[in-house]
Amino acid sequence: MPSPTRTLKDKVVVIGGASRNLGGLIAREVGQDGAKVVVHYNSPSSKEAAEKTAAEVEKAGGQAVVHEADLTKVAEVEGLFDVAEAAFDRVDCMVNTAGMVIKKPMTEVTEEEYDRMFAVNSKAAYFMMREAAKRLQDGGKIVTVVTSLLAAYTGLYSVYAGSKAPVEHFTRALSKELFGRNISVNNIAPGPMDTGFFYPAETDDSIAYHKSSAMNGELTKIEDIVPYVKFLLTDGWWLNGQTLFINGGYTTR
């Protein structure tokens, strides 16, 4: 049995992108462990899903509040943490799953697409981490979801993987800066996940290729990722400054 300080019971967990898919499942799972969850969603179109996630957290035995924020705006990132502190008086953990993907040749990427991808995948990640560093209790945990494509030699994802790549350095830098506070900072890099986030950018042939690149011929399932997130939030506290490639061998490094 882990010690009480390494459980999620009564821990306040801010989850970026928690209305559905991986973020929603993380919220429900930590709720089962008695966590107090701030369910973030990005836009009005996700409000209903976020409220459903929050209801499921509470049904599972946790507590939850829901908050809309555009994480590419620093003031709204700050507001998300304000809500967490107002609701639960503290913040213990931050998990950011928010992201955006496009797949196209570099010669076809527009300036607007480049700016948007870096705003969502890099800037938002940076300021979520920055604000977490300011707000978390000593002994807290910071986890950001990146992508296994960081270890891939491939075309067509230049602006997606490229906008995720800086997060590795953000993680190394922040984890070092937080020495003395016992706050661990890590990334999880899933393989292509079997969610609605993945399919719009792909073709039947590319989906088959992605499946064939993992050890069992399947895409990564969100259920395969959540145990590693929970591990980093509890007994995995000694891991720090790392990127974990959880992908069935899709890429290695």
Residue 200 is predicted with a pLDDT of 86
| Contacting residues for 201 by C-beta, under 8 A, at least 6 apart | 101, 102, 103
Task: Report CA-CA distances (Å) from 8 to 11, 30, 34, 106.
Answer: 5, 7, 6, 43
In one-letter notation, the amino acid at residue 73 is: K
Global pTM exceeds 0.85? yes
Residue 212 is predicted with a pLDDT of 92
160: annotated active-site residue: yes
Q: In what order do the strands lie in the sheet with 12-16?
A: 63-68, 36-41, 12-16, 93-96, 141-145, 184-190, 243-246
**Mind listing the pLDDT tens digit of every residue in the chain (253 residues)?**
445 468 999 999 999 999 999 999 999 999 999 999 999 999 999 999 999 999 999 999 999 999 999 999 999 999 999 999 999 999 999 999 999 999 999 999 999 999 999 999 999 999 999 999 999 999 999 999 999 999 999 999 999 999 999 999 999 999 999 999 999 999 999 999 888 878 888 999 998 989 999 999 999 999 999 999 999 999 999 999 999 999 999 999 9
**CATH 3.40.50.720 corresponds to the domain 4-245:** yes
DSSP state of 122: I
In one-letter notation, the amino acid at residue 83 is: V
Q: How far apart are CA 9 and CA 33, in angstroms?
A: 6
Q: How far apart are CA 120 and CA 118, in angstroms?
A: 6
CA 208 to chain centre: 25
Q: How far apart are CA 93 and CA 135, in angstroms?
A: 10
Residue 5 is predicted with a pLDDT of 61
Pick the closest to residue 233 from 176, 177, 188 (CA basis).
Answer: 188
Q: How far apart are CA 75 and CA 127, in angstroms?
A: 10
Which is the catalytic residue, given 160, 209, 228, 250? 160
**Whether 34 contacts 115, CB under 8 Å:** no
Q: Are strands 243-246 and 63-68 parallel, antiparallel or unpaired?
A: unpaired
